[in-house]
Amino acid sequence: MTIHAVPHKRLPLWKWVLDQFEEIVACVALASVILSVSWGVITRYITEQPATWASEVATLSFAWVVFFGATACVKYKLHPSIDMLVVRLPLPLQWCVRWLNHALVLGFCVFMAWFGTRFAIDAWSNPSPVLRLPLTWLYGPVAFCFGLMAVRYIQVLTRGAWLIEADRETYVG
């Protein structure tokens, strides 16, 4: 798989935010992980009063990083695929296997979005240990991101993967 760099073209802000939504949320969540873990270390070893909330914020933020990052990987077709058996099949059978694979991936995304939503709703009355936030904040990204993965997967199937801008340095190629 080759990802081609294309010249950067200016998008209106709202289109850019929609286009880069997964990356924006994952970056904010990653910054939250780094800051909360750093603050936890500082308060544990430098001050006499450790921040008990730091690890909980890091855990919640890490869930957001993982699932929004996975959604971005779907968008850029960065998830691995092993096709050494499929490429040895006759072309009509390759086509059938590929579309079966697409159906299974989409079905799994829909399944996880549905049951993740049910699980997140059920977790609303279960608070986190330190901050007493509903655990929906931890389980909600599963439901939302698998739904978004299904949308992005359909977009990739219908128009191909997102192209990486030439000025971005973060791509697999």
Q: 3-state secondary structure string, the chain?
A: CCCCEECCCCCCHHHHHHHCHHHHHHHHHHHHHHHHHHHHHHHHHCCCCCCCCHHHHHHHHHHHHHHHHHHHHHHCCCCCCCCCCHHHCCHHHHHHHHHHHHHHHHHHHHHHHHHHHHHHHHHHHCECCCCCCECHHHHHHHHHHHHHHHHHHHHHHHHCCCCEECCCCCCCC
How many other CB atoms are there within 10 angstroms of residue 100's CB atom? Answer: 10
- Res 172 pLDDT > 60: no
pLDDT in tens, 19-53: 889 999 999 999 999 999 999 999 999 988 889 99
Query: pTM for the full model?
Result: 0.83
- Res 96 pLDDT > 60: yes
**Average pLDDT value over all residues in the chain:** 87
pLDDT in tens, 124-166: 999 999 999 999 999 999 999 999 999 999 988 888 666 655 5
- Res 170 pLDDT > 60: no
111 vs 173, higher pLDDT: 111
The pLDDT value given to residue 83: 84
At 17, the pLDDT band (50, 70, 90 cuts) reads confident
What type of residue is 78? L
Token pair of 92 as six digits: 């009509």
Cα–Cα nearest to 73, from 157, 153, 158, 138: 153
Gyration radius of the chain's alpha carbons: 20
4 vs 87, higher pLDDT: 87
**CA 151, 33, 3: angle at the middle one, nearest 5?**
40
The pLDDT value given to residue 31: 98
Using CA atoms, how far residue 93 sits from 12, 97, 154, 156, in Å, is 43, 6, 22, 22
